[in-house]
Amino acid sequence: MNQQYQHDPTIVVFDLDGTITRYDTYVRFLLFVIYRNPLKLFRLPLLAIDILRHKLGRQTNTWLKKRFLNAILAGKDRDTINSLATSFSQRVVINGVYSDAIECIRQYQSKGKELVLLSASLDIYVEPLGEMLGFRHIICTRTCWENDVLGNKLDGGNCYGDVKLERIKQWSVNRTDDRILAAYGDHESDFPLLKIANRGIVVNPDQNLRLKAKNSKLEVIHWK
């Protein structure tokens, strides 16, 4: 598109797990729930087998996410889920985020940029966590509810990999300027998104990911 703009791009997109946070929040949230409901512990051995099947490439990330959702979270009422999600999110904000990430977010906010949190993790806690971090726009994997009881399916699929790119395009379809100033991620699955931004930035990569980032002409940054 050769459209002429009178100003710089304003959209900045952040991944969540491993980019802003120090760990995978989905796994931590499940453990957080299990700790408060020990009767779920008996399901862990079966879930360990599911994890192995995923690691061996026999099942997809989406399949594994649904298995965990069904085993640990499905069937809980909305008030219970909201209470767990709020408590968990507060803990993450206190001791689970990179301070450099928070500083980066604050700098963009001070410049009036539009910040988007784009995550493959579940809306039940990503939304309250994103709000606590100061995001106005939050795009993530959506869960299904029936009569205020959490179901075992995903609404619209897993917001992962190329789906992230499609979701951000859907979000920006009615905007007069859909250019992305910067996008931050920590995994190769984020590359489709990072490549369309003016600045695509890979956070805390290992040696292998650093090489892939270099080959894809992406920036590398280290946060603590």
Q: What is the pLDDT of residues 104-149, one digit of tens each?
A: 999 999 999 999 999 999 999 999 999 999 999 999 999 999 999 9
Q: Give me 221's structure tokens.
A: 């940054």
Q: Which fold has domain 11-221?
A: Rossmann fold (3.40.50)
SS3 label, residue 161: coil
- In sequence order, which residues have a C-beta less than 8 Å from that of residue 206 and are 6 or more positions away? none
Radius of gyration of the chain (CA): 18
Sign (positive/negative) of CA torsion 39, 45, 50, 52? Answer: positive
Distance CA 11, CA 8 (A): 10
* 180: Cα within 13 Å, side-chain hemisphere: 25
Report the range out of 5-9, 31-35, 56-60, 86-90 with the highest average pLDDT.
Answer: 86-90
Q: CA angle, corner 103, sides to 102 and 105, nearest 5? A: 65
- E strand residue ranges, the chain: 11-14, 114-122, 137-146, 149-155, 180-185, 199-203, 219-221
- pLDDT tens sequence across 22-72: 999 998 999 999 999 887 778 778 888 888 998 888 898 899 899 999 999
The full set of domain ranges for the chain reads: 11-221
SS3 label, residue 97: strand
- pLDDT tens sequence across 151-198: 999 999 999 999 999 999 999 988 888 899 999 999 999 999 999 999
Distance CA 105, CA 93 (A): 13
Q: Which amino acid is at 57?
A: G
